[in-house]
Amino acid sequence: MAKNIKIKSTETLSDNFFQLKKIGYEVESKDGTCEEITREVYMSKNAATVLLYNLENESVILTKQFRLPTYLNKNKSGMMIEACAGIVEDDENPEDTIMREIEEETGFKLNNVKKVFELYSTPGSVAEMLFYFVAEYTPKQRVGEGGGLDEESEDIEVIELRFEDAYLKLQTGEIKDAKTAILLQYAKLNLFQQEKVFELL
């Protein structure tokens, strides 16, 4: 197990949307020897994501938008079906972030979300921590069309699906987004599965 980490050098390679840094560090291995390693790290901000669900209608709200990195890596259309998500700004906590993003992206205005866990998205190269939430919605809580913000060049389609249809898209590969897969698996184990058990009693 690695221990006694010492940062030896830091170089900023790019400073656009987020910083890309080249980090040199020294690590002591379990046999007591030291090794110098260099890695590039994308210093992206933390983010939050949420699965909106309705137990009565057995439905979920997802989004669909173009994602350039996927287009450059075998996704012919570049379109991705995803759970609502957004960056946690410096003056926000994750709960405030995701409630703001829910309204901006989906048009629903909710006052309560439940945090289920927090995970590093790509720990080998990206610093981001992603905070995961679920939130129950009703049709009456929709106050707008959603679709994202024009000033951020967002063009988001809001999709309401039966949960089982959304879960099937995960199994068939139509949904390939990791955060969405994690939230759908959570819902299968903790939300909709529980509801079916109650129906059988």
What are the pLDDT digits (tens) for 6-32?
Answer: 999 999 999 998 999 999 999 988 778
CA separation for the pair 13, 118 (Å, rounded):
28
Same domain, 105 and 147: yes
Question: Is residue 9 domain-shared with residue 85, that is, in the same domain?
Answer: no
> Distance of CA 190 to CAs 55, 99, 124, 195, Å?
12, 21, 29, 9
pLDDT at position 3: 67
**Predicted local confidence at residue 150, as pLDDT:** 56
Same domain as 57, residue 36: no
State the Cα–Cα distance between residues 84 and 130, nearest whole angstrom. Answer: 12
| CB distance 51 to 37 below 8 Å | no
Q: Can you give the pLDDT at residue 28?
A: 86
Task: For residues 174 and 101, state if they share a domain.
Answer: yes
Both tokens of 118, joined, read: 């927090």
Residues 124 and 170 in one domain: yes
Half-sphere exposure of 192 toward its Cβ, with a 13 Å CA cutoff? 22
In a shared domain, residues 129 and 36? no
Low-confidence ranges of the chain (pLDDT < 70): 1-3, 146-154, 194-201
**What is the structure's pLDDT at 148?**
63
Measured between alpha carbons, how far is 17 from 45 in angstroms, rounded to an integer? Answer: 10
127 and 39 in a common domain: no
Exposure b/e, 63-98, CB count within 10 A at least 16 = b: bebebeebeeeeeeeeebbbbbbbbbeeebebbebb
| pLDDT attached to residue 31 | 79
Q: What tens digit of pLDDT does each residue of 174-183 get?
A: 999 999 999 9
Show the domain range for 109: 47-200
